[in-house]
Homo-oligomer: A and B are copies of this chain.
Amino acid sequence: MKRIGMLTSGGDCQALNAAMRGVVKCLINSGEQYEFYGFLNGYKGLIYSNFRMLTGADFSGILTRGGTILGSSRVPFKTIREPDEDGIDKVEAMKQTYYKLQLDCLVVLGGNGSQKTANLLSEEGLNIVSLPKTIDNDLWGTDMTFGFQSAVDVATTSIDYIHTTADSHGRVFIVEVMGHKVGWLTLNAGIAGGADIILIPEIPYDIKKVIDAIEVREKRGCRFTILAVAEGAISKEDAKLSKKEYKEKLQNYTFPSVSYELADQIQKKTGREVRVTVPGHMQRGGAPDPYDRVFASRLGAEAGQLIIKGHFGYMVAYKNREIVKTPLKEIAGKLKTVSPDASIIKEAKMLGISFGD
């Protein structure tokens, strides 16, 4: 009998349940006996020993269900070594829970911050296998994360909806897309949604170039312009600021987000009506799409294999269309960003999309 702990950490996304189902199905079908401990609300459940026992039945029928049956929360990595408000040493508490329950492995489904904590626990001696969860697709060491393609679908559908009304009214529309500090989500949703201008953090924009692109379209007789703007998009000027200067700027910032600032600038300089739409948290909600269901199921199965083989300290990852294992220590603290020279950027430019650069 082996004992497996499992937790989902950070912002939730589609296919978390599909991935966990993959792990559990693989282990149950392996012939050996397993007990499953589901920690509630991410690392908090591990810290405070808040869990429930799970059986195969808990994982039945959840392939298509959004969210996570375990709940999630954010426990910032940068304060993980600090005691909590009651003075409890969080890392020690996690280790105690692990040892007290005599776990053979802890499975962590998480994004960047969560992988850092997973690596820390691995370095502390726990048996860890992790899975790459995030709609941002910004995890180092894997070509793809689950949740990403489903989020692309939601963001693209948002742009699709806006397309018809932008066309009817001849307006400039900004659709603000998630993605934290990277542009993968905006880039893909922007191309898929037929956006005319795409602004991502990796390519700081020049507001004049953005306005030029709008006016060129107008001159060609286009009734409307759609901008897909990453929540982390940044202007060339702001990109030049020091960290301190940028922080100061944000303190006096009166716009809810960069899209509203952009809308304001475009409106003032062109006189055109500009509207902003923010699908926001919708992008991490709803059922996983078929792509993510297959992908997360496969990752889950291979994570199960790592457990069976006793290969710990790895994240299952996707490389060149095969599922491989990447050492946790190679992932932690790195970010996979969009290279401004990437083929997909060049191709988008060939299609006539402006990046405001």
Contacts and interface: CB of A to CB of B under 8 A. Distances in A.
Contact of A173 (B28, B29, B192, B281): B281
Nearest to A64: B160
B284 A165 contact: yes
A63 interface: yes
Interface string A240-269: 000000000000000010000000000000
A122 interface: no
A298 interface: yes
A94 interface: no
Given A165-B284, A351-B301, A352-B25, A291 B291 contact: yes
Contact of A153 (B66, B289, B350): B289
Contacts of A352: 25, 28-29
A342 to B, nearest CB: 10
Interface string A301-326: 11011000000000000001111000
A347 interface: yes
Contacts of A321: 143, 320-321
A282 B293 contact: no
B350 A294 contact: no
Contact of A169 (B29, B71, B301): B71
Contacts of A304: 350
A343 B320 contact: no
A348 B297 CA distance: 8
Contact of A12 (B152, B164, B279, B348): B164
Interface string A279-299: 111111111011101100110
Which of A156, A193, A300, A301: most chain B CB closer than 10 A? Answer: A301
Nearest to A308: B350
A294 B191 contact: yes
A354 to B, nearest CB: 11
A162 interface: yes
This chain: how many copies in the complex?
4
Interface string A161-177: 11111011110010000
Nearest to A143: B321
Given A67-B168, A164-B66, A302 B189 contact: no
B343 A153 contact: no
Contacts of A344: 298
A55 B28 CA distance: 30
Nearest to A8: B168
A154 interface: yes
A356 to B, nearest CB: 16
Contacts of A29: 350-352
B301 A192 contact: no
Contacts of A72: 168-169
Contact of A290 (B67, B189, B347): B189
Which of A66, A160, A169: most chain B CB closer than 10 A? Answer: A169
A96 interface: no
Given A192-B293, A192-B294, A294-B192, A305 B350 contact: yes
Given A68-B168, A291-B291, 5 more contacts: A67-B167, A71-B223, A149-B291, A277-B278, A300-B351
The 9 A-B residue pairs with the shortest CB-CB distance in the complex, in nearest-first order: A66-B164, A161-B285, A67-B164, A12-B168, A192-B290, A156-B290, A301-B350, A161-B282, A301-B347
